[in-house]
Amino acid sequence: MASTITSVDDSIKNLATTYQTAIKAAIEAQSAPLKRVQAQRDTLDVRKGVFTDVKNNFDALQSALQALISSQASYGLNLVSKASVIPGTAGSTVMTLGTTSESATAGDYDISVTQLAKANSRASAAAASPDIALGKSGTFWLGGNGTAALQTETASGVYSDFVASGSVTAAATSTVASSQRELGTGSYSLQVRDSGGVRQFRLVNADGNAVSIRKTDGSSGYTSEWQAMTSGAYDTGRGQTLTLDSTSSSLDSTSFYYTAKGSYIEISASDTQRTIISSINAASQPEGRDFRASIVAGKMLLTSNQTGENHSMLYTDGAGLGFDTVLQAAQNATFTVNGMSVSKASNSNLTDIVDGITLSLAGDAEGKSARLSVSAGTDKAVATMNAFVTKFNATISHLADKLATTSKTENGKTTYTRGALSGETIFSSFRTDMLYRMGRSHSNSGSYSHFEDIGLSFDKDMKLALDSAKFSEALKNNKSDVTALLDTGMSTINTVLSGYTGSSGLVTRTLTSIDSQTKEYDQRIAKYNAFLETRKQSLYNQYVGYQTQLVELGNTALMFGIDIGSVLNKSG
């Protein structure tokens, strides 16, 4: 900032008042050029603020506009599926809905549930107390019997040595990696695909769910996702070693039946119900056949951690604990969808019943029916269109305000204030052009030619408004025609906007020029300030000399009895 009177006060206080006044007057007079440059700099700051607001509005408008053009990555006018449950008999909803993808297939799906999936559970005989020694001893195997095997199921319940296929030429059991759980007994399938020129694979269990196996990228991690396949021996880290052939022409899946070795606990005669269930729950059990133990009504209770037929408990009771009472057999959920039979191991988070829909069966769904209705919704498209309307109105209103000249009359005198963009004809032309393009006819391949045909028009105050119902109706019934109109009309507006936005746009170039001018003004201001500082120091030195001479003169006069106090001021 300029070196004005106030900025030199502190450094000249030791001078006589007369000299201080002289220095201030000199600096003030010589500050005039600096003040002019500073005023120009301040005006430039205001201009930059206005153009920055214009750029922000233009960028926001262009972003909202591009979401209406189907060729743009941000396109947001696709119909989005909406799902709802229509209660059946006695008001039963049968299911609850999770996520619904935008592309879920529209339609009605009648779902009738026969039975829910349930977990296997068994109970032992009752004991007088959970803390009394049971007198039982031996080895209790969980999830197996101590021997692992990897075979091919040639017929239901009939197993042979592993049969090689195109992608898996050999298979055998192997040691489970530390910190990993063994895969549970059951059928598994190695699935293969080509993706982007890369052969990939994953391992899927009998429920159709991918299981986590060792990564092939050289890291120590595990994944259930598709991963690159390379030829040679591959250790899953979960108890199996598969010899893979990534060059095979076959993309067929390879199935095998794995019998888990399991884990075990040693039971001694002094063990009680409480110590036994604690040991069971602490053991690392094969995944998918694992279960938990508890004490209920004096009995030890074993319950599978997963529902479904493929997750029934497997154990070898070498201690004779006697879990002989079957409380619940493992069972799948069974139901029909539009008459087609479906069986699932779980009741919840079912993602492959109706494409794009995640649903869960209600706890009271057995014997009940309901309808799942999936329809194409326009809520997201309407919101996208309203976002454009908001940005358009904000941009046009801002320009109108900054282009306007306002008047104010007080005491019979009228004053006029020009807007920050007054005289910027390029922006007044832009505003007019935008209003014209929004109302004009746009020739295209569809049946609509004006934006008002699909609900986009100006109200009585020349504000853009959207008739949501009219737009939704047009989008649902004539989406291709709506797309053709918006692609043509909005693309022309997008082209106009691009002349102002982006790295080479008019507004961007103007802001770059303002920054350059600001830098130049800052350099000039710095030079003026340096000059004034030097000038102030020079004047200070000059008047200090004067004052010193006068003080010395006064001292001499006193020696001779001459009174010149009216001349000197010794207050400093």
pLDDT at site 135: 96
Residue 5 has pLDDT above 70, yes or no: no
The amino acid at 167: S
- On the CB side of 123, CA atoms within 13 Å amount to 11
Residue 405 has pLDDT above 90, yes or no: no
**Could you tell me the strand order of the sheet in which 299-304 lies?**
291-296, 299-304, 121-126, 325-328
Residue 1 has pLDDT above 90, yes or no: no
Distance between CA atoms of residues 392 and 65, nearest Å: 9
pLDDT at site 2: 47
Distance between CA atoms of residues 96 and 93, nearest Å: 7
How is residue 331 annotated by DSSP? B
| Measured CA distances, 20 to 9, 24, 34, 572 (Å) | 8, 6, 21, 11
Of the pLDDT bands very low, low, confident and very high (cuts 50, 70, 90), residue 571 is very low
Total residue length of the chain: 572
Q: Where are the domains of the chain?
A: 47-77+379-407+414-502, 80-117+332-377, 121-142+262-328, 149-259
Beta bridge partners of 267: 138
pLDDT at site 16: 82
Phi, psi (degrees; rounded to nearest 5) at 32? -55, -45
| Measured CA distances, 122 to 100, 293, 301, 319, 331 (Å) | 38, 10, 6, 16, 14
Phi, psi (degrees; rounded to nearest 5) at 488? -75, -55
pLDDT at site 10: 67
pLDDT at site 563: 58
Of the pLDDT bands very low, low, confident and very high (cuts 50, 70, 90), residue 41 is confident
CA dihedral 470, 475, 476, 479 (to 10 degrees): 150
pLDDT at site 3: 46
DSSP H or E segment with residue 9 = none
Distance between CA atoms of residues 363 and 117, nearest Å: 10
| Measured CA distances, 560 to 551, 556, 557 (Å) | 15, 7, 5
Which residue is it, tokens 């607001």?
53
Contact 34, 532 (CB under 8 A): yes
Of the pLDDT bands very low, low, confident and very high (cuts 50, 70, 90), residue 316 is very high
What is the chain's alpha carbon radius of gyration, rounded to the nearest angstrom? 43
Find the range with the poorest average confidence among 32-41, 144-153, 417-426, 516-525. 417-426
The encoded tokens of residue 41 equal 């700099």
Q: How many C-beta neighbours within 10 Å does residue 276 have?
A: 23
pLDDT tens-digit readout, 234-259: 999 999 999 999 999 999 999 999 99
Across 42-48, average pLDDT: 86
In terms of DSSP H, where are the helices of 478-505? 479-498
pLDDT at site 539: 86
Residue 276 has pLDDT above 60, yes or no: yes
Distance between CA atoms of residues 124 and 424, nearest Å: 90
The encoded tokens of residue 461 equal 């105050």
Residue 149 has pLDDT above 50, yes or no: yes
pLDDT tens-digit readout, 67-122: 999 999 999 998 887 888 888 765 667 888 877 777 777 889 999 999 999 999 99
The chain-wide mean pLDDT, for the chain, equals 90
pLDDT tens-digit readout, 466-517: 999 999 999 989 999 999 999 999 999 999 999 998 888 888 888 889 889 9
* DSSP helix, strand, coil percent of the chain (3-state; round to 5): 35, 30, 35
Distance between CA atoms of residues 304 and 309, nearest Å: 11
